[in-house]
Structure 1
Amino acid sequence: MVSTEPVIETTDNPSCVVCGSELPRQKKGRPRRYCNPACARRARQASPSNQASEGPSHTPAPGRRGAEARGQGVGIEQAPSDALDPPADAVEDFRTRYYANFASTPGQDPISTRRKLRYRLRHLLREVTTVNRCKGCGWEPIANGIAIKMGTKDGRNTAGFGGLETCGRIWLCPVCSAKIRVRRGDQIAEGVGRHIDGGGSAWFLTITLPHEKGDALKDSFDALTQAWRYVKTGRAYQDEKKWFGILGEIKAVEVTHGDNGWHPHAHILILTSRNLEFDEFCSWVARLDARWAKGLAKVGWSTGRPGIRLVLVPVEKGKGIAAYVAKVQEKGLGNEIARADMKDARPGNRTPFGILADFGNHALADDVELWWEYEQATAGRSAIRWSPGLWAKLMPDADDLSDEEIAAEDEGSAAIAYLAPWTWRRIRTIPGAEIAILEAVERSGWEGLLRVLIRYRVSAAGVYTPEEWATPNEVELEPL
């Protein structure tokens, strides 16, 4: 079992992540990570991906960092080795269970493959997370019986479990995140479609900020948020609201990690009451870019390069957005904004769930520490947010559900079977049994469920039809 103790922060002065020299404390601005330019160059030249490419024979045990890693200047704070060291037999058990379980098999149905990956990642998340709510997601029953439900979506049978705890963590849980982001993407596509049908216009804005390997994710997130707040405050923004008819915005924040450290960025849909002439559009872009650069400077961050730090393109209904964005879409604008869990990072970068999967495959301590940093930095932050009053304007007939409410909704429309708690406790400990049950039910219903239980040597005594479950004295909640 891998220790799930988070990195402990101390009140000591920060030190250079390359050579360990003590750094002076700063009261404001971008926190320093290096003592001099030479250390900064060494950190930029070091590539954590090279360690992973060496193969299993060179992979360090989980929770232990070698002297080589310190010499390469890995850009995250180091945890005490005893806080991460599991027993030797636990290390081998963990590697045996998770190694090579997080790669897609060529030729498989992509929907089925993604779901299998999400469930495997959620099992791994329970072992490493510092968030207690995530440990019980999809694991602990909240009712006397666990329902197996089935419905139809987009012409496909879809099965799911009911009566289990859900965490609703859009940043952290692979299963809840996918469910929430699907709904958010549909909502965005519907709302923006209504707006454009009514004669309005939409603009797709991407903002980013320069980053280095030593930048802490929390500091980068704070800089992104505070600099954007500067763009939206003051007389300039109020003038733009009147000139261009700005009604509101939908903002989605994403993050990846690569050789240059954490890379948080935001996609923002800005809705206006009318279309803009070309000269108006150019003027607006220049004003936004200038304020964004000034906002970054205000929070002590580098301003970056024009044309990269801020990009604005028009949205055309039925055509997605501009070509450079449309190439990564699967179903359109809503997915581009909301479905960060479906996107692949650029070469050399990894998504947070990619980091978690790499830890499952290679058991590198660097990866689990990156995940813990991600957990701490995203705590309390919104991933997708509509500006105040915009939902009421665009979606007055729809309920604005919270992430937790969306995650707790049952996936299927009708129950085809119920599992007694003791039967569920047996199933959840068998690797792959949950997915096998859902896929069998989607193919063959009740008969498929029984065949899977026989294959996994699970007694059918704790499995009931809906009629049996509703009949008094027909159900045994615990084995005899």
Structure 2
Amino acid sequence: MLDAVAAAGGSVCMITMTTRHRAGQSLRSLWGGVSAAWRAVTSGRAVERERGTFGVLGMVRVVEVTHGESGWHCHVHALIAFDGPVSRELAQELGGSMFGRWERALVRKGFAAPLEDRGGLDVRPVDMGVGSRDAVAEYLSKISAEITGGSAKEGRRGNRTPFGILRDGLATGLADDLELWAEWEQASRGRRQIAWSQNFRKWAGARRERSDEEIVTDDLGGEDILAVEAQDWPALRPRVAELLDVAERDGPVAAAEWLTARRIGWFRCRRGVPPGKSEARHDMAECS
């Protein structure tokens, strides 16, 4: 998108808006407030006026969620694209207008935003030079990768991302971490964390967004070697990271021996046959 805007002679700014939060707030309610506030930012007559006044082409929005001493923290990053050069002052004016709708919507939902000049709003013009575009794209890509669990990115100021919480929970088995992960699963279900304004994705020449069904049918080139019995999964779950370390370091035979020593039922997968249709379950005598 950044490259497409640059080629068209446009400009971009990144706007970040956040909400006050405290320990004990549920992620579901906090996220609901943020979603309502963002709808207020992006709908209504004011939005149409802004498009004409500032030459807004469209926007891409990412919701970032972390957890720390003050509980869940949920904020929005948005890249706003313009059809021509826009000064820092004009970008700040647009951000202030958007923040006003954001703040009022939060109040209606029983929440509050930090003061605009005290962390509630951050407006940063994007240098459209190649190096700067790459840096901004990398930053938002890291957030997006963390959303899907594929990144080791951690939150700032000691906050943890949801998948950071999951990694800690699997490594330590701490109930608090596993409960936080369960809350994340329930609160994030069905929510769109990465969104484009209408028709902007097509304008930027981005490829069509793939469905979940298309993604899970991808053949990543791996090979299923061992599968664990469903009834034994609860015993394995707190130690799955340890098993993966053994498999990566010492291979599948060592992984099988590790499972057998802990009396966790497993079976060997035939090449090309998915788990569930593999060889019969090995009994413990055969495994040993």
Shorter-chain TM-score: which interval? 0.7 to 0.9
More helix by share: 2
1:310 aligns with 2:121: yes
TM-score of the two chains, using structure 1 as the length reference: 0.46
In the alignment, is residue 320 of structure 1 matched against residue 132 of structure 2? yes
2:29 & 2:269 partners in 1: Cα distance? 54
The residue that corresponds to 1:402 in the other structure is: 211
Superposed, 1:36-435 pairs within 5 Å as: 191-307=1-117, 308-317=119-128, 318-320=130-132, 332-340=138-146, 341-395=151-205, 398-412=207-221, 423-425=225-227, 431-432=243-244
Q: Deviations over 1:119-158 (max 9, x none)?
A: xxxxxxxxxxxxxxxxxxxxxxxxxxxxxxxxxxxxxxxx
Partner of 2:261: none
Mapped contact 2:41–2:99 kept (Cα < 8 A) = no
Q: One-letter code of the match for 1:311?
A: D
Change in 2 beyond 3 A, CA 1:462/1:211: closer
- Distance in structure 1 (CA, Å) of the matches to 2:81 and 2:251: 50
Alignment of 1:13-52 (within 5 A): none
8 Å CA contact 1:257–1:352 kept in 2: the answer is yes
> What CA deviation, in whole Å up to 9, does each residue of 1:297-326 have, x standing for no partner?
22221231223112121222423369xxx6
Provide the rounded CA distance (Å) in 2 between the counterparts of 1:456 and 1:230: 52
Alignment partner, residue 86 of structure 1 = none
AA of the residue aligned to 2:192: S
Show the counterpart of 2:263. Answer: none
Q: Output the TM-score relative to the length of structure 2.
A: 0.74
Q: Secondary structure at the match of 2:116?
A: coil
Give how far 1:434 is off.
8.9
Per-residue CA deviation, residues 131-187 of structure 1 (Å, 9 max, x unaligned), is xxxxxxxxxxxxxxxxxxxxxxxxxxxxxxxxxxxxxxxxxxxxxxxxxxxxxxxxx
**Shift of residue 333 of structure 1?**
4.7
- Whether the 8 Å CA contact 2:10–2:85 is kept in 1: the answer is yes
Q: Return the offset for 1:462.
A: 4.8
The answer on whether the counterparts of 1:249 and 1:270 sit within 8 Å (CA) in structure 2 is yes
Asked whether the equivalents of residues 210 and 304 of structure 1 are also in contact (C-alpha less than 8 Å), the reply is: yes
Whether the 8 Å contact between 2:4 and 2:204 is mirrored in structure 1 is yes
- Give the root-mean-square deviation of aligned CA atoms: 3.5
* CA-CA distance at 1:277 after TM superposition: 2.8
3-state secondary structure, aligned to 1:320: helix
Equivalent residue of 1:347, what SS?
A: coil
Amino acid at match of 1:332: E
Q: What percentage of residue pairs aligned between the two structures are identical?
A: 31
Q: Measure, in 2, the Cα distance between the counterparts of 1:362 and 1:454.
A: 25
Separation in 1, partners of 2:268, 2:110: 63
2:68–2:160: 8 Å Cα contact kept in structure 1?
yes
Amino acid at match of 2:219: D
Distance apart, 1:220 and its partner CA: 0.6
Deviation larger for 383-392 or 332-341: 332-341
- How far apart are the structure 2 equivalents of 1:246 and 1:225? 21
Partner secondary structure for residue 339 of structure 1: helix
Q: 1:285 to 1:460 in 2, by over 3 A?
A: closer
Unaligned ranges ≥5, structure 1: 1-190, 440-450, 470-476
Deviation of residue 240 (structure 1)?
0.6
Aligned-pair CA distance for 1:403: 4.0
SS where residue 227 of structure 2 aligns? helix
What is the number of residues matched between the two proteins? 253
Distance 2:255 2:91 in 1: 62
Q: Is the 8 A contact 1:320 1:332 kept in 2?
A: no
Cα distance, 1:236 vs structure 2: 1.9
Letter in 2 for 1:425: A
The one-letter amino acid paired with 1:207 is M
Indicate conservation of the 8 Å contact 1:453/1:460, yes or no.
no
User: Relative to structure 1, is the Cα distance of residues 315 and 367 closer, same or farther in structure 2, using a 3 angstrom cutoff?
Assistant: same
Choose 1 or 2 for highest CA Rg. Answer: 1
